[in-house]
Amino acid sequence: MKKLNILASFVVGLAVTGCASSVSENSSLYSNHQPVIERNNFTLDINLSNEDGITSFEQKRLAEWMSALDLGYGDRVSLDFGNGFSNALAKQTVADLAANRGLLLQDHAPLTEGQIPSGSVRVVVSRSTASVPSCPNWETSSASNFDSGNHSNYGCATNSNLAAMVADPEDLVRGVDKSSSDPTNGTKAINALREKAASSGTAGNASATGGQ
């Protein structure tokens, strides 16, 4: 009888140990699942012209390439002239095309694979994406949690939504450095909506809808 009691205690101990091992050891307020930022560089080599900087044909090709990439906020555009001298006309042309999409030309280009052909400039578009590759995670059970550890899926919803909604994924890495704050920035979107509604003659409809 005594041997049976010892054996039963040993089996119960194994069961408790098995349950405890399936519980996350993280009992903090921070999730183990954090957004991961990946950057991809897209390149296009453009032939240069001594007179025009970039010919009209190459400008069209570059504009179509930007449209195919759906270039927009968060993307970074830069130029790499290789070992050649910088072409001011070409630089201005690319800067204008980028400005049409609300982007500024970056001062420095990242390193890319392949040699730049002679008499060409390489346009580099750097695009970052954010995701939480470790989510969802349903490895642990919510039962038998004796250590107050977080569930293995803790933080997945919040951080996955943050990664999906952030306009510029690189802001999750280093944030935005601003020397001063301008309170009018917060009202620009509201003012733009009001001006558009007034100019299109739909201000009355907008007010009526808002009152419902």
CATH of the domain at 46: 3.30.1330.60
Asked whether the predicted pLDDT for residue 15 surpasses 50, the reply is no
Report if residue 197 sits inside a domain. no
- pLDDT surpasses 60 at 16: no
Top pLDDT among 186 and 4 is at 186
Domain count, the chain: 1
Question: In this structure, is residue 101 part of a structural domain?
Answer: yes
Q: How would residue 143 be classed by pLDDT, with cut points 50, 70 and 90?
A: low
Helix 88-99 to helix 56-69 angle (10° resolution) is 40
Residue 106 to residue 79: CA distance in whole angstroms: 8
Look at residue 207 in the predicted model and tell me its pLDDT.
44
Which residues span the domain enclosing 104?
38-129
pLDDT (0 to 100) of residue 199: 62
Dump pLDDT digits (tens) for 83-116: 767 889 999 999 999 999 999 999 999 989 999 9
- Residue 201: per-residue pLDDT: 57
Q: Residue 18 pLDDT > 70, yes or no?
A: no
Determine the pLDDT at residue 14: 40
Residue 157 vs residues 34, 128, 167, 170: alpha-carbon distances, Å: 11, 21, 18, 20
Is 169 part of a structural domain of the chain? no
Whole-prediction pTM: 0.66
Domain presence at residue 42: yes
Q: Calculate the average pLDDT of the chain.
A: 80
From 49-58, 186-195, 202-211, the region with the lowest mean pLDDT: 202-211
Give the confidence band of 13 by pLDDT, cuts at 50, 70, 90. very low
Bigger pLDDT: 204 vs 127: 127
Q: Is residue 148 part of a domain?
A: no
Helices assigned H by DSSP within the chain = 2-21, 56-69, 88-99, 156-165, 171-174, 188-200, 203-211
- Can you tell me the mean pLDDT for 69-73? 93
d(CA 133, CA 97): 35
| Residue 182 lies inside a defined structural domain of this protein | no
Residue 81 lies in a domain: yes
User: Per-residue pLDDT for 196 more than 70?
Assistant: yes
Q: For residue 150, count other CB atoms closer than 10 A to its CB.
A: 20
